[in-house]
């Protein structure tokens, strides 16, 4: 996974609470077999009019936010479905950082699997960033993960909190699976110790399709 | 030993490895997969030369995009077809059990897990689907994960997780007639908000929860995620054990008795502390109907569509305005004056036997209203479908003007042909009323199965308590 250290980029404001993952990637795009190409359809129903004509009223279609890589959002961002297609779309669109007062658990977790930094700031600070983004065309922010700061070029600087383990994953671009597989001996030992408990019974008496097994 | 909550007990029992200050590696007892969120995970394994560690603990089913009409016909949706083929190939190559769309056990993943006894108390269960919380009804720790985590579990049978906070939701007293498990959970979500449980695992308790059947408890736990809680659970009791006994994957005889003894330990210790507690009184709960574009935008059937100005927070005002615009509703409209175009009884929330029986009981001898274009009954599994048919429920529904379909996710998510058309309004027993959820520009009102059935007959929402008192449980 692509490591994350610092990032400077144009800010796009999505002024709406409780943005759910159904809005980011609607159901008709869940039939894919790969993780690629979700940027084009991110926020599909909001972003496009019939015939995939860009909806001029949707904020990401405003010329001034073209090329944005920092997404400014409101509370409970990413609620609902666990679909990882949502962060795949966010990333593929070009966002590397999301700034919001809060996130839904599963979406938050999924961001870290994809090298996206979901930074959390208090409501008032997020509000301040919304106002500055609105006021100044080309408003950009520099997000420094090692120092846990978000700064603009006018001297504004906010500090954000992030769990040290989450920070490490992004900084090093860690592959979770590889890291966990280093604990193979512990997993083996757990399986051995729990082989006879109630949760581990072998299935009995069922007919099933198992493709020849 | 310090007192523990049910969640803490199951958690502690599953820690494989942990370092202070870091998330733990926890063991996963059952991994459920479906066609929608697994292909990229298998592709990832393949790219890294990794294998499925425990195919015997992995269970696959086709549910999200399956047709609910005639399955002997070719699949017209090529993308869906490719996903089914990918799942079949992945399962065959990895020796994972697959309930394909022609299996007599096929159904929605969260319906068949419990139905076949794959779900058992004390387990950890994950699935690439947020409604995995359903399985918590059995006193399991069950939650939805993303596709990268699906890949992680396939490779290691473990997951990297930080401990959650705990939320106790007590529903005291007795549930009135006409008020169902769905109304209980919608009331809870209305009270705590759709982010109220974020960061928490919920445990439901109190007299009204204890009195629910397993079907009802599953409805409650299913929608935990709509209140922000990734998992919701109910401590197992005699109702749980009676449900499980004799199911396909559940041990038999002496082994079952021993299992029950262990399962009986799965309860929150008396003096254990929760991080947050919410209490409700069941007698005060009325049948619920959502009016907006998330499950927290909900009110009693006796109420009216709210006015955005009633909300103090400007974000809530804006959200309400936007929701009413999307839903095509005017503030102050009585809920019972809202007409419905289509009715959907199904989904992992409300498609079990209890749901179908209650709805059938209500519609028997009546007929779907003229203005209702379609009324769908989609059983959660083929097992449920076949049992319902034995009981003659299909006949009752058909005679009343409902369509009786095959099992799958159907119009809850509209990934197959069962889509709610633009600007049409549904009374739906599903779990999400997000914009476009059932179809682009469609308008969803979440209700219980009896409320949906009554709306189908009346052609608009009605208070089921007054609609047909004799046939309301």
Give the closest-approach CA distance of A34 to chain B in angstroms: 5
Closest residue by Cα to residue B153 from B133, B120, B127:
B127
Closest residue by Cα to residue B169 from B147, B191, B152, B144:
B191
Q: What is the pLDDT of residue A174?
A: 86
* Least CB–CB distance from A165: residue in B23, B148, B262: B23
Beta carbons of A89 and A41 less than 8 angstroms apart: yes
> Which residue range forms the structural domain that includes residue A38?
6-174
Beta carbons of B45 and B151 less than 8 angstroms apart: yes
Dist. CA B127–CA B30, nearest whole Å: 9
* Least CB–CB distance from A45: residue in B98, B156, B440: B440
Q: Do B436 and A201 touch (CB under 8 A)?
A: no
> Choosing among B315, B325, B381, which should be mutated to test the A contact, i.e. which has the most A CBs within 10 A?
B315
The model's confidence at residue B167, banded by pLDDT at 50, 70 and 90, is very high
Residue range B165-172: mean pLDDT, rounded: 98
* Least CB–CB distance from B251: residue in A87, A105, A201: A201
Q: Do B413 and A27 touch (CB under 8 A)?
A: yes
Q: What is the pLDDT of residue A194?
A: 87
Give the closest-approach CA distance of A37 to chain B in angstroms: 13
* Least CB–CB distance from A199: residue in B37, B123, B415: B123
- Per residue in A43-85, pLDDT tens? 999 999 999 999 999 999 999 999 999 999 999 999 999 999 9
Alpha helices of B95-146 — where are they, by DSSP H?
109-115
The model's confidence at residue A212, banded by pLDDT at 50, 70 and 90, is very low
Q: Do B37 and A80 touch (CB under 8 A)?
A: no
The DSSP 8-state label assigned to residue B131 in this structure reads: G
Q: What is the pLDDT of residue B143?
A: 98
* Least CB–CB distance from A190: residue in B27, B102, B155: B27
Q: How far is CA B18 from CA A209, B3, B22, B25, B280, in A?
A: 37, 21, 7, 6, 37
Residue range B110-119: mean pLDDT, rounded: 96
B467 alpha-carbon distance from chain centroid = 26
In chain A, residues with a C-beta closer than 8 Å to the C-beta of B149 are 109-110, 113
Question: Percent helix, strand and coil across chain B, each rounded to 5?
Answer: 40, 20, 45
- In chain A, the DSSP E strands lie at 6-14, 48-49, 53-54, 70-73, 97-100, 117-120, 140-144, 149-151, 157-159
Residue with tokens 């394909």: B100
- Per residue in B124-138, pLDDT tens? 999 999 999 999 999
State yes or no: pLDDT of A157 exceeds 90: yes
> Choosing among B56, B123, B195, B422, which should be mutated to test the A contact, i.e. which has the most A CBs within 10 A?
B195
* Least CB–CB distance from A208: residue in B82, B99, B130: B99
CATH code of the domain containing A50: 3.20.19.10
Give the pair of three-digit tokens for residue A102. Answer: 């809060």
Give the closest-approach CA distance of A190 to chain B in angstroms: 6
Give the closest-approach CA distance of B366 to chain A in angstroms: 35
A101 alpha-carbon distance from chain centroid = 14
Cα radius of gyration rounded to whole Å, chain B: 21
Dist. CA A168–CA A60, nearest whole Å: 31
In total, the C-beta contacts within 8 angstroms joining chain A to chain B are 228
Q: Do A17 and B316 touch (CB under 8 A)?
A: yes
* Least CB–CB distance from A113: residue in B65, B98, B148: B148
Give the closest-approach CA distance of B132 to chain A in angstroms: 10
Q: What is the pLDDT of residue B207?
A: 98
Chain B: residue whose CA lies nearest to A87: B146
Closest residue by Cα to residue B340 from B467, B461, B448:
B461
Dist. CA B210–CA B213, nearest whole Å: 8
- Tell me, yes or no, whether A195 lies in a domain: no
The model's confidence at residue A202, banded by pLDDT at 50, 70 and 90, is low
The DSSP 8-state label assigned to residue A105 in this structure reads: H
Sign of CA dihedral A27, A33, A39, A41: negative
- Residue A33, SS3? coil
Chain B: residue whose CA lies nearest to A33: B39
- Per residue in B446-469, pLDDT tens? 999 999 999 999 999 999 999 876
Lateral strand order in the sheet of B15-17: B15-17, B24-27, B158-161
- Tell me, yes or no, whether A213 lies in a domain: no
Query: What DSSP string runs through B218-248?
Result: HHHHHGGGGGT-SEEE----HHHHHHHTT-T
Q: How far is CA B402 from CA A171, B339, B431, in A?
A: 56, 17, 21
* Least CB–CB distance from B79: residue in A31, A164, A165: A31
Q: What is the pLDDT of residue A208?
A: 55
Q: What is the pLDDT of residue A175?
A: 83
- Residue B77, SS3? coil
> B444 pairs with which residues across the strands?
B426
Beta carbons of A147 and A18 less than 8 angstroms apart: no
Dist. CA B335–CA B220, nearest whole Å: 23
- Tell me, yes or no, whether A161 lies in a domain: yes
**In sequence order, which residues have a C-beta less than 8 Å from that of residue B318 and are 6 or more positions away?**
A16, A17, B308
Q: Do B195 and A102 touch (CB under 8 A)?
A: yes
- Residues above pLDDT 70, as percent of chain A: 92
Q: Do A84 and B148 touch (CB under 8 A)?
A: yes
- Tell me, yes or no, whether A183 lies in a domain: no
Dist. CA A89–CA B304, nearest whole Å: 38
- Tell me, yes or no, whether A152 lies in a domain: yes
Closest residue by Cα to residue B36 from B62, B69, B74:
B62
* Average pLDDT of chain B, as a whole number: 96
Beta carbons of B222 and B431 less than 8 angstroms apart: yes
Chain A: residue whose CA lies nearest to B125: A199
- Tell me, yes or no, whether A37 lies in a domain: yes
In chain B, residues with a C-beta closer than 8 Å to the C-beta of A212 are 92
In chain A, residues with a C-beta closer than 8 Å to the C-beta of B91 are 210-211
Beta carbons of B425 and B446 less than 8 angstroms apart: no
- Tell me, yes or no, whether A181 lies in a domain: no
Q: How far is CA B115 from CA A59, A144, B56, B384, in A?
A: 46, 50, 18, 9
- Tell me, yes or no, whether A210 lies in a domain: no
Q: What is the pLDDT of residue B13?
A: 95
* Per-position b or e across B97-116, b if 16+ CB within 10 A of its CB: bbbbbebebbbbbbbbbbbb
Q: Do A198 and B120 touch (CB under 8 A)?
A: yes
Q: Do B158 and A32 touch (CB under 8 A)?
A: no
> Per mean pLDDT, which range of A150-159, B16-25, B346-355 is the poorest?
B16-25
Give the pair of three-digit tokens for residue B470. Answer: 């004799």
- Residues above pLDDT 70, as percent of chain B: 100
Give the closest-approach CA distance of A121 to chain B in angstroms: 16
Give the pair of three-digit tokens for residue B208. Answer: 């009204």
Q: Do A114 and B148 touch (CB under 8 A)?
A: yes
Dist. CA A33–CA A35, nearest whole Å: 7
Q: Do A211 and B92 touch (CB under 8 A)?
A: yes
Residue range B272-282: mean pLDDT, rounded: 98
Query: What DSSP string runs through B306-364?
Result: PPGGG-SSHHHHHHHHHHHHHHT--TT-BGGG-B-SEEEE-TTTS-SHHHHHHHHHHHT
The ipTM (two decimal places) reads 0.95
Dist. CA B72–CA B93, nearest whole Å: 25
Domains contained in chain A, number: 1
Q: What is the pLDDT of residue A209?
A: 54
> Choosing among A2, A15, A16, A18, which should be mutated to test the B contact, i.e. which has the most B CBs within 10 A?
A18
Q: What is the pLDDT of residue A76?
A: 98
Do β-strands A48-49 and B298-300 pair in parallel, antiparallel, or remain unpaired? unpaired
Q: What is the pLDDT of residue B469?
A: 67
Q: Do B83 and A33 touch (CB under 8 A)?
A: yes
Residue range B387-396: mean pLDDT, rounded: 98
Residue range B297-325: mean pLDDT, rounded: 96
Q: Do A163 and B65 touch (CB under 8 A)?
A: no
The model's confidence at residue A200, banded by pLDDT at 50, 70 and 90, is very low
Dist. CA B65–CA B34, nearest whole Å: 10
Chain A: residue whose CA lies nearest to B195: A76
Q: Do A198 and B48 touch (CB under 8 A)?
A: no
In chain A, residues with a C-beta closer than 8 Å to the C-beta of B16 are 183, 186-187, 190
Q: Do B37 and A186 touch (CB under 8 A)?
A: no
């Amino acid at each position: 996974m692509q490591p994350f250290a610092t990032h400077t980029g144009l800010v796009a404001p999505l002024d709406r609470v409780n943005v759910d993952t159904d809005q980011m990637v609607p159901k008709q795009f869940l039939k894919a077999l790969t993780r690629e190409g979700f940027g084009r359809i991110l926020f599909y129903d909001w972003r496009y009019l019939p015939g995939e004509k860009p909806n001029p009223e949707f904020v990401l279609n405003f010329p001034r936010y073209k090329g944005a890589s920092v997404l400014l959002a409101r509370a409970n961002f990413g609620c609902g479905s666990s679909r990882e297609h949502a962060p795949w779309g966010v990333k593929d669109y070009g966002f590397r950082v999301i700034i919001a007062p809060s996130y839904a658990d599963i979406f938050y977790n999924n961001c870290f699997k994809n090298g996206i930094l979901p930074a959390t700031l208090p409501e008032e600070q997020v509000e301040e960033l919304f106002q500055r983004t609105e006021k100044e065309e080309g408003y950009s922010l520099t997000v420094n993960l090692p120092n846990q700061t978000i700064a603009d070029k006018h001297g504004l600087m906010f500090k954000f909190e992030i769990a040290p383990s989450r920070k490490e994953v992004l900084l090093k671009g860690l592959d979770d699976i590889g890291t966990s597989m280093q604990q193979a001996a512990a997993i083996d030992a757990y399986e051995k110790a729990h082989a006879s408990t109630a949760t581990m019974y072998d299935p009995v008496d069922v007919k099933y399709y198992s493709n020849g097994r | 030993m310090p007192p523990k909550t049910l969640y803490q007990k199951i958690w502690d029992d599953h820690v494989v490895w942990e370092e202070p200050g870091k998330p733990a590696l926890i063991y996963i007892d059952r991994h459920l997969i479906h066609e929608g969120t697994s292909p990229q995970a298998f592709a990832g394994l393949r790219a890294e030369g990794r294998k499925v560690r425990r195919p015997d603990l992995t269970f696959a089913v086709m549910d999200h995009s399956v047709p609910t009409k005639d399955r002997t016909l070719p699949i017209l949706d090529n993308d869906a077809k490719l996903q089914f083929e990918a799942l079949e190939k992945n399962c065959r190559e990895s020796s994972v059990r697959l309930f394909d769309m022609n299996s007599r056990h096929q159904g929605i993943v969260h319906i068949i897990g419990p139905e076949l006894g794959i779900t058992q108390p004390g387990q950890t269960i994950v699935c690439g689907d947020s409604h995995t919380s359903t399985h918590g009804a059995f006193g399991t720790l069950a939650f939805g994960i993303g596709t990268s985590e699906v890949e992680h579990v396939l490779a290691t049978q473990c997951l990297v997780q930080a401990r959650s906070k705990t939320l106790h939701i007590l529903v005291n007293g007795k549930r009135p007639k006409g008020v169902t498990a769905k109304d209980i959970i919608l009331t809870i979500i209305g009270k705590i908000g759709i982010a109220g449980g974020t960061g928490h695992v919920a445990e439901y308790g109190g007299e009204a929860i204890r009195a629910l059947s397993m079907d009802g408890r599953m409805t409650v736990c299913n929608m935990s995620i709509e209140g922000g809680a990734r998992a919701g659970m109910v401590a197992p009791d005699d109702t749980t054990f009676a449900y499980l006994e004799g199911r396909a994957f559940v041990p038999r005889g002496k082994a079952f008795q021993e299992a029950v003894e262990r399962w009986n330990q799965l309860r929150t210790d008396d003096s254990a502390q929760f991080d947050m507690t919410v209490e409700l009184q069941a007698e005060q709960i009325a049948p619920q109907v959502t009016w907006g574009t998330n499950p927290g935008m909900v009110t009693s059937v006796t109420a009216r569509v709210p006015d955005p100005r009633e909300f103090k927070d400007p974000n809530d005002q804006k959200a309400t305005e936007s929701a009413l615009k999307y839903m095509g509703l005017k503030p102050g409209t009585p809920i019972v004056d809202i007409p419905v175009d289509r009715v959907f009884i199904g989904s992992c929330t409300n498609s079990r036997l209890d749901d179908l029986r209650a709805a059938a009981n209500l519609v028997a001898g009546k007929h779907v209203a003229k203005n209702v274009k379609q009324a769908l009954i989609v059983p959660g599994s083929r097992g449920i479908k076949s049992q319902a048919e034995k009981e003659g429920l299909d006949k009752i529904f058909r005679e009343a003007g409902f369509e009786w379909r095959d099992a799958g996710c159907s119009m809850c998510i509209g990934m197959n042909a069962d889509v709610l058309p633009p600007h049409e309004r549904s009374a739906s027993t599903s779990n999400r009323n997000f914009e476009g959820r059932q179809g682009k520009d469609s308008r969803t009102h979440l209700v219980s199965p009896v409320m949906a059935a009554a709306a189908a007959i009346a052609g608009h929402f009605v208070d089921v308590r007054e609609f047909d008192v004799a046939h309301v449980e």
